[in-house]
Amino acid sequence: MQIDIIGVPIDLGAGRRGVDMGPSAIRYAHLQDELETMGYQVEDRGNVEVAIAEMCKISEPKLKYIDCIVPMARRTAGAVSTSIAAGHFPVVMGGDHSIAIGSVAGAARRRKIGVLWVDAHADFNTPETTPSGNIHGMPLAALCGMGDERLVHLWPGGTAALNPRRVAVIGARDLDEGEKANLRRAGVMIQGMEQLDRFGIVAAMEKALAQISQDVDGIYLSFDMDALDPRHASGVGTPVTGGLTYREAHLICEMTAETGRLIGLDMVEVNPILDTQNATAQLAVELTVSALGRRIWNG
C-alpha cells in the first residue's frame, strides 16, 4: 500500500496561533522514515495551499476566517479524494481540526465511511451555539449536515458527508451546552472520559467500532492530539486535563488498525510553539504508525 502524506498548515480555525507549524513538526519527527521502516511505500505530497492569517479578515464573528477556511477545505478534500481514488492511504497532518471539513469530506466522496473522532472536544458547534466563533469547533457538525451551508456543502448541490449514526467521539470531556443539544439531536455516539473511566477503553472502543462499521466501506480516523492528557501531549492549542493516557491513545489506534478497514486518517492540533523538544509531534508519529499496524509484539 502506498501512503500519501498531506500537510495542511492552518491555524485560522483555532483561537491560538501555532498549529500551522504542526505538519513541519510531524515531518521533523521522522513520520516518513517510520512508515517506510514498516515496509510501506510513502510519498510526501507536500502541503495544501493555505492563506496566512495576515491575508484574511474576520468578516463574520461567529464564523471566523470562513472566507479562507472554505478554500482550504476544498483543496484538502481534493487531495484526499485523489489519494483514495488512486488506491492510496492518505495521512493528513494538521493544522487545526477545521482541516477535517475537507479531509473527511474528500474521503466520503470516494467511500461510504464511518468516522472515529478522537478528541477532548466533540467539535459539534454551529454558528448558533459557538461561544468563540472558532471554526475548529465546528467540523464534525458540518460533516454531519449541521451548521453553515458553506461548511456543510463545500460544493453546490452536495449532501452531508456523514451519517451521524456512523460517527463515534472518543475521549470527549469539554462540551458546550448548545453543542450537547446538537449531538443529541444528531444521534452521534459519545464515548467520553466518563464512559472510559466506568467501562474501560477496550469496551468503549468495541462499542464505538461496532457502531461506525455498520453498512460502510471503511473507517476514517480523525485524531486530535488534545484528546491526550496534557501530561503526555503538552504541545496542543486547547489542552484539557483528565485526558487519555499514553497507552489508551495507542490502544485506540491499535484496535482501529485491527479492524482492517481504515482508509485514511488525520493527525491534528500539534502546536510546536507550546511543545517541549517536539515531544507531542513525536507522539503523533507513534500514534500514526500504531494506526497503520505497528505493534509492540507481533508474535
- C-alpha 85/C-alpha 153 separation (Å) is 20
Give the pLDDT of residue 223: 98
Query: Each residue of 100-114: pLDDT tens digit?
Result: 999 999 999 999 999
C-alpha torsion sign, points 62, 65, 151, 186: negative
Is the separation of the CB atoms in 22 and 281 below 8 Å? yes
Question: Residue 88: which H helix or E strand, with range?
Answer: none
**Crossing angle, helix 201-212 and helix 246-258, to 10 degrees?**
40
Amino acid (1-letter code) at residue 212: I
In the chain, which stretches have pLDDT less than 50?
A: none
CA angle 122, 123, 127 (to 5 degrees): 135
Global pTM?
A: 0.97
Angle at which helices 100-110 and 66-85 cross, to 10°: 30
Rounded to whole angstroms, how far apart are CA atoms 219 and 263? 6
Whole-number pLDDT of residue 156: 84
- Look at residue 296 in the predicted model and tell me its pLDDT: 81
Task: Work out the burial of residue 50: count CB atoms within 10 Å of its CB; fewer than 13 is exposed, 13-18 middle, 19 or more buried.
Answer: buried
pLDDT tens digits, one per residue of 232-285: 999 998 999 999 999 999 999 999 999 999 999 999 999 999 999 999 999 999
Catalytically active residues, by annotation: 97, 119, 121, 123, 136, 224, 226, 269
pLDDT at 157: 79
- Which run of H or E residues covers position 152? helix 149-152
* Cβ-Cβ contacts under 8 Å for 271 (sequence gap 6 or more): 16, 18, 19, 21, 22, 235, 236, 237, 280
pLDDT at 299: 63
Domains and CATH numbers, the chain: 2-291 (3.40.800.10)
